[in-house]
Amino acid sequence: MAQLAPIATALGAGASIYSTVRQAQTQSSNARAQAEAARQQEAARQQQLAAQQAAEARAREARLAGTTAAARARLAASGVSPDEGSAAALTAGFERDAAAAQADSDQVFAARLSAGRRSLLNNDGSLTTWLRAGSSFGNSLRNLLD
C-alpha cells in the first residue's frame, strides 16, 4: 500500500500539470482571439476617424474658397484690386484662420487616435498559468521526495 502512494501522487501531479497546460492553451487561444478582435475594432475606429477628419478638411477648404471668392468679388466690384494692400491682407487672414483651424483639428484627431490605443503592457494571463503549473509540479515533486 505504501508503494502505491508515490505512484498516486505522480499520477495526480501529471493530471494537474496536464490540466494546467490545457487551461493555459485555452487562455492563450482566447487572448489571441480577443487581441485580434481588438485590433480589428481599433482599425475600424481609426478608419472612421480618418474619414471624418477628411470630410471636415474638405468642408473647411470649401468654406475658405467660398469666403475668399466672395471677398475678392466684392473688392473687385468696388474697384479695389483684390491682390494688393488691405484686400490681400484680408484674404491672407482668411487663409491663416483656416490653417489654424486645420491645425487644431489635426491635434484633436491625433488625440482621438491615441486615446483608444491599448497598452502593450496588458497581459493575457498566460504567464500566471505556467507559474501555477510549475508550483504545482514542485509541490508534487516535494511530496514524492518526502
pLDDT computed for residue 120 by the predictor: 45
Q: Domain spans of the chain?
A: 15-72
pLDDT in tens, the chain (146 residues): 567 777 777 777 788 888 888 888 888 888 888 888 888 888 888 888 888 888 888 888 898 888 888 888 888 888 888 778 877 888 888 888 888 888 888 888 888 777 765 544 445 555 565 566 667 767 766 666 66
> pTM for this one?
0.51
Q: Classify 78 as helix, strand or coil.
A: coil
Question: Residue 5: what residue type?
Answer: A
pLDDT computed for residue 73 by the predictor: 86
pLDDT computed for residue 90 by the predictor: 83
